Amino acid sequence: MKIKENLSLIKSRIPESVVLVAVSKTKSNKLIMEAYNSGHRVFGENKVQEMVLKWETLPKDIEWHMIGHVQRNKVKYMAPFVSLIHGVDSLKLLIEINKQAKKNDRTINCLLQVNIAKEETKQGFNVIELDLVFKKLQSLENIQIKGLMGMATFTNDNSLIESEFKLLKSKFDLLKLNNKKFDVLSMGMSGDYKSAIIIGSTMIRVGSKIFGERN
Ligand SMILES: *Cc1c(COP(=O)(O)O)cnc(C)c1O
């Protein structure tokens, strides 16, 4: 696998302002170190235990992003080091993240996951709930909501994907009006990051186009 080449190809295709999260879930430390040695520092995992193991063994200047669904009882394990939690999908989870952040004497950056897809299986707040959630958030002092995250429907229908990304982008723009710290819109994966960036993504999560297909 030509990890270094894959990374530089993707980086050459995206604006410098867009953050590339290299999704390393299921991939070995050896492969992650190949990306690291080519200069990459931002990695995404979808399982807390796997991310903790990698954090313990790999260089400490790696920025670890949790991109998967998070169970509340696992938050404590990543609270000391996680740099951004993308998949926040309930107030109860936010309250737990706030509690664990306080214990670690830090602020944890979070994105609210929005359910923009037609599929039943996708996690996240629905677009209408978001405003309410936002109001309730003000009392949580050890979390910082940096923006939104969403996943499009898994389909070949580009017009559907684009309409879902546009919905997320418009919600992001609205919330941003009242939130100066709101500057991350996490959307786009290996198959759809180009459309996502055209529509306004500021952060893409790319796995298989860097590390190869997962088993
Ligand atoms: C696995 C995963 C990705 C990366 O998917 P690829 O298609 O391999 O780029 C991005 N986002 C989330 C939430 C994921 O779970």
Write the residue with the smallest CA distance to atom 12 of ligand 1. Answer: 67
Pocket flag, ligand 1, residue 27 (CB < 6 Å): no
Which residues, 6+ apart, have CB-to-CB distance to 140 below 8 Å?
Answer: 94, 95, 98
Which residues, 6+ apart, have CB-to-CB distance to 206 below 8 Å?
Answer: 10, 20, 21, 22, 23, 188, 189, 190, 193
| Amino acid occupying residue 165 | F
Q: Locate tokens 């952040």: which residue?
A: 101
Pocket flag, ligand 1, residue 23 (CB < 6 Å): yes
Rounded Cα distance, 201 and 58, in Å = 29
CA-208 nearest atom, ligand 1: 8
Name the least confident of 5-19, 108-122, 175-189, 201-215.
108-122
Determine the Cα angle at 165 with ends 124 and 96, to 5°. 25
Q: Are 3 and 36 in contact (CB under 8 A)?
A: no
Name the least confident of 95-109, 114-128, 140-154.
114-128
H or E stretch covering 148: strand 143-150
User: Token pair of 108, please?
Assistant: 């944890």
Write the residue with the smallest CA distance to atom 5 of ligand 1. Answer: 207
Question: What's the pLDDT score for residue 121?
Answer: 66
pLDDT, tens digit (0-9, with 9 covering 90-100), for 63-76: 999 999 999 999 99
